[in-house]
Chain A
Amino acid sequence: MKMLAAQAAALWHARSLCWTLTRREISARYAGTALGVLWAYAQPLLTMAAYYLVFDVVFAMRLGAGAPTHAVGTYLIVGMLPWMAFGDALARGMTSLLEAASVLQKNALPPMLFPVRAVLASSVIYAPLLLLLVLAYAPLHRFAPALIALPALVLLQVVLCMLWGAVLAILAAALRDVTQLVTFALSLGIFLSPVLFPAHLFPETWRWALWLNPMTPWVSSYQGVLLQGAWTPLSHWIGMACWLIGGALLLQVLLVRSRDQLTDWL
């Protein structure tokens, strides 16, 4: 893991540049709009508000027995917001190297700076929103102590996106088709997760397939913590650890193999 450690050290050394790049990516995205960066927060917030209005207020749809909550909108929001954060961060991380081609070819910078800044730029939008869910959901279980696990979950999700965003960025540099494939997988992946339907509604024999989705342990944990105030079970932590360690190992291998040629591919 020497290569990965060296990259992490280089990024830490360039942390103030990383933060400048992050702020710039966000302001560049909304350059020329009147509301500016407010749009970044407005879009997920308005989507969540729409779910609540449509499912819980207008149609008042209910989930059946065995669900962690009965209000469909309430259930949907807890899974949907982290899933949107994951999809956004991963997609931006994946295309980050290709987009930074001209900068990387003309400035001596560590390439991994760009996937990390792309994920950070996405996370500074979504992480506060995820943490704000506490205010809406804590009354369900009167501020259960399990809520303190929430920051750890959010932080681990950011790390997950950085690792896999970097992995996909290198793969996309080698073969552009990767971006198409992953975009498609992200649009289908939501069905292979407990975001839309509680896990117990999936057929027993196929339930294991849910764990093929990296977000399953996170989404289940968010649902437990926010909807029921329940501590995250060990199996979920192990599931998260598997995806984190797997991402780190794969990234290490790809970094070693692409070491001196990565910028040539962009």
Chain B
Amino acid sequence: MLLPSHAARPDGAQPTLDAQQLGKEYRLYDSPVQRLLSLLSNRRNYRSHWALQGVTFQLRRGQCLGLIGDNGAGKSTLLKLLAGTLQPSCGTLARHGRVTAILELGAGFHPDFTGRQNLYFGGSLIGIDAAQMRTLEAAIIAFSELGDAMDRPIKTYSSGMVVRLAFALVTALEPQVLIIDEALAVGDQHFQKKCVERIEAFRNNGCTILFCSHSLYHVQRLCDQALWLHQGQMRALGPTPEVVAAYEAHVRLQEQAEPPGAEAAPAPRTVPSVAHIESVQLPDVLEPCADIPGCCGRLNSPHLTITVRARTADGSLPHFGLLLEQVGGVGVTSVGTHTDGVQAHLDDSGAWVATVTFPNIPLHTGLYKVSAYLFDSKGLVVYDEWKDCQRFSHIFAQSTPGIVHLKHHWNGSES
């Protein structure tokens, strides 16, 4: 599942990022007047809220740490501390080399100035002086694909253009430490792919990466270490698969605690420009009975077969992922062409097609749903996702408690 890891590279003893007992206290005052009084009198007239406490970890060259946790767990606060935009209330933080943070892109741009003027100014904010910018300018403009628009005021840009310029600028110089906050969702699909490729290139060159995302898929795919923050404290730190598994169990418990019902309606599908899923078909599932509302078709075969079709604008090879879940319950399994090392094939109409078969599917009786994902050739950029796009019911005659019947044997004599 993991991309090749660089963590094992024996590379000097000094960590590039060393956080010891980092803490961030927010002081809550009853009113701004109290805040002013505390400045002038140094009285303790506030309540403390510790957004982060006792965070200790070290990262070496080439390591990639994924940051996971619920909303409000302190992930953003930690990223801002590491990026240097917030000051820690306690603890120490040592960073070596150039630190680049992709937090919120485009801060400090002035709408009345041209793209080029903003480029030079934005560069000076992140330590690129005018002389250095002159040598980088051409590459930045090429990467952002802004061309002639560079000499127009930023206020005439679309939000995507601003983000493209900002991303090209902050990643113009190769950093030793790269901090990314959900930045994989930058711009359109075509640009997302370029962003991911650039980040991958940094990683291959030994850049230390700190990556915060709600997408556990991406954390598992990119990171060799994961840190789970819970209510401002470290809950787990270690190899990604273990930490993510522990976090997933925690999320599932939380979901069970919440009242069931109201499942979110599937978001309306827009047809993305670079690549999109065309269809997801389950040929062995019978038509649902029209009389019973909410009824699903029954799987009329011991084998489950799913066929996915997709188109890419440039005809390049995509990868497919499929997720099989119980309706209102837990995930059963997920498969991907990239993780299984197979390629989709082109059909006569120019669409990419992949078919997966689960022979003698070992599911117990229940309602199941299928979600399909379309990835780029590396399995990183999510081009398209059809969540809960097909449902089916499955009846297993000898059903007992549980969700699957696992292959098993007893060490006893037959009765």
Contact = CB atoms under 8 A, between A and B. Distances in A.
Interface of B: 24-27, 32-33, 35-36, 38-39, 42, 80, 83-89, 99, 101, 103-104, 107-108, 110, 112-113, 121, 124-126, 129
B103 to A, nearest CB: 6
Contacts of B110: 24, 28, 31
Given A175-B33, A257-B42, 11 more contacts: A32-B112, A103-B108, A105-B80, A106-B103, A107-B126, A171-B36, A178-B36, A260-B86, A260-B87, A260-B88, A260-B89
B125 A109 contact: yes
Contacts of A28: 110, 112-113
Contacts of A171: 36, 39
Q: What interface size band does chain A fall in?
A: 20 to 34
Contacts of B83: 108
Given A254-B39, A261-B27, A175 B32 contact: yes
Interface secondary structure of A, over-half rule: helix
B108 A175 contact: no
A8 B349 CA distance: 68
Contacts of B27: 261
A8 to B, nearest CB: 18
Contact of A264 (B86, B104, B121): B86
Contacts of B113: 28, 31
Interface in A222-266: 254, 257-261, 263-265
Given A28-B112, A31-B112, A174-B35, A107 B26 contact: no
B102 to A, nearest CB: 10
Given A24-B121, A106-B103, A265 B108 contact: no
Of B38, B88, B125, B129, which is in contact with the most chain A CB atoms at under 10 Å from its CB?
Answer: B125
A16 B129 contact: yes
A259 B87 contact: yes
B383 to A, nearest CB: 29
Nearest to A257: B39
A260 to B, nearest CB: 4
A174 B108 contact: no
Nearest to B123: A20
B402 to A, nearest CB: 50
B107 A174 contact: no
A176 interface: yes
Q: Which 9 A-B pairs give the minimum distances between C-beta atoms?
A: A108-B84, A106-B107, A260-B87, A175-B36, A31-B112, A174-B35, A174-B36, A20-B124, A175-B32
Nearest to A20: B124
Contacts of A104: 85
A17 B112 contact: no
A170 interface: yes
A102 interface: yes
Nearest to A109: B125
B294 to A, nearest CB: 47
A259 to B, nearest CB: 6
A264 B26 contact: yes
Given A17-B124, A28-B112, A106 B85 contact: yes
Interface in A10-40: 16-17, 20-21, 24, 28, 31-32
